Amino acid sequence: MTSDLRALATRLRNARRLTILTGAGVSAASGVPTFRGQDGLWRQHRPEDLATPEAFGRDPRLVWEWYAWRREKIALCRPNAAHEVIAAWSRAFPECQVVTQNVDDLHVGAGTRNLTRIHGSIWELSCWDGCAKGAPGWRDERVPLGELPPRCPHCGGLARPAVVWFGEALGGGNLRAAIEATACDLFLTVGTSAVVYPAAGLVEEARRQGAFTAEINLEETPASGTVDLTVRGGAEVLLPRVAELL
Ligand code: OAD
């Protein structure tokens, strides 16, 4: 384990372009529930009931109740040591990109630079109804949110969480930024089950372009067999240890 952490620290020291991809595991120590695994959200709910445009079309109130519950939980959470280390690296490295699948904005809270939130933010809303498609969303951090479902301040139609649901494409700019970030020397994937595409394909794309690839995760994932280095353990424990070795 220590030799793996040393190897990762050496790679980091020598990297000019660093890209970090994060998933729910990075926020687990902050108290944000993950999606898969023993206590994961998808153990209690089916994604197709709560996280698809069809589900929202069927029952916007039900979907909003779930998002309002998650917002209440996340509002109590603070960035942990993993977010802090990633934020520090994003400021220290000459070229560092952080791509996250997390919608909790804890990377934002930690002061992360060059952050792409490919699945959006749970603190942002957009219009589902009347506004022209592509109209800008807005930030609403109220907890509780007020009457559900919330309304669009522009047209009075239904508002939706500005997150990416299953079956939806990633915002063009975000996808482009994430793909561009695969051109790097070191691609580090942290706390993601590596099963949801296109995020899950980024590590392979980075490898194809010649990056050294590494994974930090509590458990084995589909990416574990293909990355150059994999380290098992909590991100909030391992990232500070690597930082100490730099
Ligand atoms: P998952 O819940 O699928 O996976 C979390 C991963 O983090 C698992 O591989 C765990 O082993 C690992 N993990 C848990 N605690 C950890 C810790 N303390 N340190 C390191 N690793 C830890 O979450 P994601 O991979 O982020 O999408 O899920 C990807 C997407 O699927 C989400 O963005 C969401 C979900 O459905 C949408 O909502 C579109």
Q: pLDDT by residue (tens digit) across 179-230?
A: 999 999 999 999 999 999 999 999 999 999 999 999 999 999 999 999 999 9
- Same domain flag for 138 and 153: yes
Q: Quick one: pLDDT at residue 135?
A: 76
Please tell me if the CB atom of residue 40 comes closer than 6 angstroms to any atom of ligand 1. Answer: yes
* Phi, then psi, of 62 in degrees rounded to 5: -60, -45
Active-site residue flag, 119: yes
Nearest Cα residue to atom 32 of ligand 1: 101
Give residue 48's domain range: 34-76+122-163
- Same domain flag for 211 and 154: no
Catalytic, out of 83, 107, 119, 154: 119
- Same domain flag for 127 and 142: yes
- Same domain flag for 113 and 186: yes
Nearest Cα residue to atom 9 of ligand 1: 193
Residue 198, preceding bond cis, omega within 30 degrees?
A: yes
Please tell me if the CB atom of residue 18 comes closer than 6 angstroms to any atom of ligand 1. Answer: no
Give the domain CATH number at 130.
3.30.1600.10
- Same domain flag for 65 and 53: yes
Domain stops at, among 132, 163, 194: 163
Look up residue 180 and give its two tokens.
């561009």
Please tell me if the CB atom of residue 234 comes closer than 6 angstroms to any atom of ligand 1. Answer: yes
Please tell me if the CB atom of residue 28 comes closer than 6 angstroms to any atom of ligand 1. Answer: yes
Check whether 134 has a pLDDT greater than 80.
no
- Same domain flag for 111 and 214: yes
Residues 17-51 pLDDT 10s: 999 999 999 999 999 999 998 888 888 888 888 99
pTM exceeds 0.95, yes or no = yes
Residues 53-89 pLDDT 10s: 999 999 999 999 999 999 999 999 999 999 999 999 9
Q: Quick one: pLDDT at residue 177?
A: 97
Domain stops at, among 109, 132, 163: 163
Task: Give the total number of structural domains in the chain.
Answer: 2
The helix/strand/coil state of 190 is strand
Domain stops at, among 102, 133, 163: 163
Please tell me if the CB atom of residue 101 comes closer than 6 angstroms to any atom of ligand 1. Answer: yes
Nearest Cα residue to atom 18 of ligand 1: 234
CA of 156 to the centre of ligand 1 (A): 35
The radius of gyration of the chain's CA atoms, rounded to the nearest angstrom, is: 18
- Same domain flag for 154 and 224: no
Q: Give dist(CA 27, CA 102) in Å, integer.
A: 8
